[in-house]
Amino acid sequence: MTAPAPDDTPTEVLPRGRTGRHSRPRPTSAQVVARLRAQLPFLVVMVVVAVAFVRIAQQHWREGTTELGLALLLAAVLRATITDRLAGLLAVRTRRVDIVTYAVFGAIVIAVSLTITGGPFAGR
């Protein structure tokens, strides 16, 4: 059994700006805006999380952890009210599972933050 002869056809010259045969064309500005808009709900939740971490870093841990729980509840509300296409990174699992998971974890974090007595620096 002999191997097939090598192909003598010249290599295809790609158009300028494309690097390989599997490369995609550059997205248009409308496509970029649509992708960013799809991540807006996630960005809103992450802003609340960032504010909560700042509060925790300022030694207001109870308010910060309550805000973390509120961020999870906000994620549940956003996931329930917007479409799957617009949910962006908030859409991890099915809509029902995401809503229940965000809401339950948010409620647990808020309950724990409000019921801890003394806190980690109560001895000072």
Q: Is the pTM of this model over 0.85?
A: no
pLDDT, one tens digit per residue, over 68-97 is 999 999 999 999 999 888 888 999 999 999
Domain-by-domain residue ranges, the chain?
A: 30-115
pLDDT of residue 73: 98
Task: Report pLDDT digits (tens) over 38-53.
Answer: 889 999 999 999 999 9
Q: Is the pLDDT of residue 22 over 70?
A: no
CA nearest to 76, candidates 90, 92, 55, 88: 90
Mean per-residue pLDDT of the chain: 85
- The mean per-residue pLDDT over the stretch 23-37 comes to 84
